[in-house]
Amino acid sequence: MTRRPGPLVYGLLAAFVIGSALPLYWSFMIGSHTRERAVETPPPLLPGGHFFENVSRVLDTIDFWQALLNSLVVATVCATSVVVFSTLAGFSFAKLKFRGSSSMMGFVVMTMAVPTQLAIVPLFILMRDYRLLDTLAAVALPTLVTAFGVFFMRQYLLDAVPDELVEAARMDGCSMIRTFWTVAVPAARPAMAILFLFTFMQVWTDYMWPLVALQKTETLQIALDRLALTGQGQTTDYALVLAGTAMATVPLLVLFVLSGRQLVSGIMQGAIKG
């Protein structure tokens, strides 16, 4: 007989859902008011009727669609690259026996403890030397492979692909790359989908590196920063900024809705295997 979750569990889940949805609601709510109403005290708690007016102002102020396209290109390229290379590396560390594999994997895990902010100056100098500053390549290159992706896929493939299955494929004459493609990839698809979503979201919400690497070329992060500088005098037009922020969140919501079933199945499959 299974016990049903108690009120405490439901209360924690409700608090988590409310806390997660509050920033999105706040962006939409402030973005639906006028500039003057957005800065009043106490602040408004219900949406107003000026959201589409503010959306029109955002489109008139910045090249939103070009920035959206640039962000989509960078996030898609980075997420796809991370999934491909992390799955290859994870399969190698999980199923191939070679000298130094444990030390190499330990080094990969150690790099996860290094703050990304420490790499800003070396990355900037490197991109400057290669004359890639103010290009989308400068934003995408540092995130084409991540240590977390390699670690995540290795841990998943350790249990998802039995050693006997790999050995059987090798005995049947499969090359290692064919074994990877026909045995590891089908088993790793749920984890690959989760890693793609997490990486896409990480790149989409990254603000610091695009702000450093880009000047004229704009992603959504840079475009929203431009909105914060368009206020009259020294006052930021928060209604304009948060309306743009709400617009920039829509692609992420669409992605999660379209891939929600795959995400849930991947999490459940990982829980069952664990």
Tell me the pLDDT tens digit for each residue of 238-264.
889 899 999 999 888 888 888 766 666
What confidence score (pLDDT) does residue 87 get? Answer: 94
179 is a domain residue: yes
Within 101-186, strands assigned E span none
Half-sphere exposure of 237 (CA within 13 A, CB side): 23
Classify burial at 11, counting beta carbons within 10 Å of its beta carbon; exposed 0-12, middle 13-18, buried 19 or more: exposed
Stretch 5-17: mean pLDDT = 86
23 is a domain residue: no
Separation between Cα atoms, residue 245 and residue 252, nearest integer Å: 12
What confidence score (pLDDT) does residue 231 get? Answer: 58
> What's the structural domain count of the chain?
1
How far, in Å, are 12, 92, 137, 145, 207 from residue 87 at the CA level?
34, 8, 22, 10, 27
pLDDT, one tens digit per residue, over 168-215 is 888 888 888 888 898 888 888 888 988 999 999 999 988 889 988 888
Higher pLDDT among residues 219 and 272, named by residue: 219
What confidence score (pLDDT) does residue 271 get? Answer: 45
Separation between Cα atoms, residue 181 and residue 170, nearest integer Å: 13
Check which CATH number belongs to the domain holding 100 and give it. 1.10.3720.10
pLDDT-based confidence at residue 269 (cuts at 50, 70, 90): low
For 152, the domain range is 44-273
First to last CA, the chain: 22
19 is a domain residue: no
Beta carbons of 94 and 188 less than 8 angstroms apart = no
Stretch 105-133: mean pLDDT = 89
Both tokens of 177, joined, read 């790359």
Mapping DSSP to helix (H, G, I), strand (E, B) and coil, where does residue 41 land? coil
Phi, psi angle pair for 246, to nearest 5°: -65, -40
Chain mean pLDDT for the chain: 86
Residue 4 predicted with pLDDT over 80? no
Tell me, rounded to whole angstroms, the distance of Cα 115 from its chain centroid: 17
